[in-house]
Amino acid sequence: MFATLELAVLSMTLFLPGAYSAPSLAASLAQSKSYSGDGTFYIPGLGACGKTNNGHDLIVAVGHGIFDSYPGANKLNPNKNPICGKKLRATYGQKSVVVTVKDRCTGCAGAGDLDFTEAGFAKLASLNQGRIHGVQWEWI
């Protein structure tokens, strides 16, 4: 029975183009357990998750590569992306902060880059730094 099932799956992958594709690198990164990247900050408003936030909220915009490839991401309506509302813990040096994903960072170049609100960034470093390198983070 298993051999028949395996043969059927193999037939579909060989003869039906597009029926199966290996997970993309971005999708693999979206499901990774830990990341490293730069941290910056921005002044939020209406975010890609469809909610309006302000600089006092502990929220974050994740890089567009992770946001767009997150499993179940809706390319037509980012408000319905299951990444919205997920929490992550970011650490820089000896400091850490828990933030909630509420936005998509279009200016994030690295796969693990994060764009915090001023409140979130200030938990990790002085706003005068503007950009910090080597922020470690993971989903919680």
Identify the pLDDT of residue 10.
38
**All structural domains of the chain:** 25-139 (2.40.40.10)
CA dihedral 119, 120, 123, 124 (to 10 degrees): -130
- Helix (H) or strand (E) holding 72, with range, is none
Q: 106: which 2 tokens?
A: 């279009």
Identify which of 29, 32, 8 has the alpha carbon closest to the alpha carbon of residue 20: 8
Q: 65: which 2 tokens?
A: 């590569």
Q: Tokens 């936005």 correspond to what residue?
A: 103
Identify the pLDDT of residue 75.
84
The series of mean pLDDT values per 10 residues for the chain, 140 residues long, is 39 38 47 87 96 96 96 92 98 98 96 97 98 98
pTM: 0.76
* Beta pairing, strands 35-41 & 114-116: parallel
Three-state DSSP class for residue 64: helix
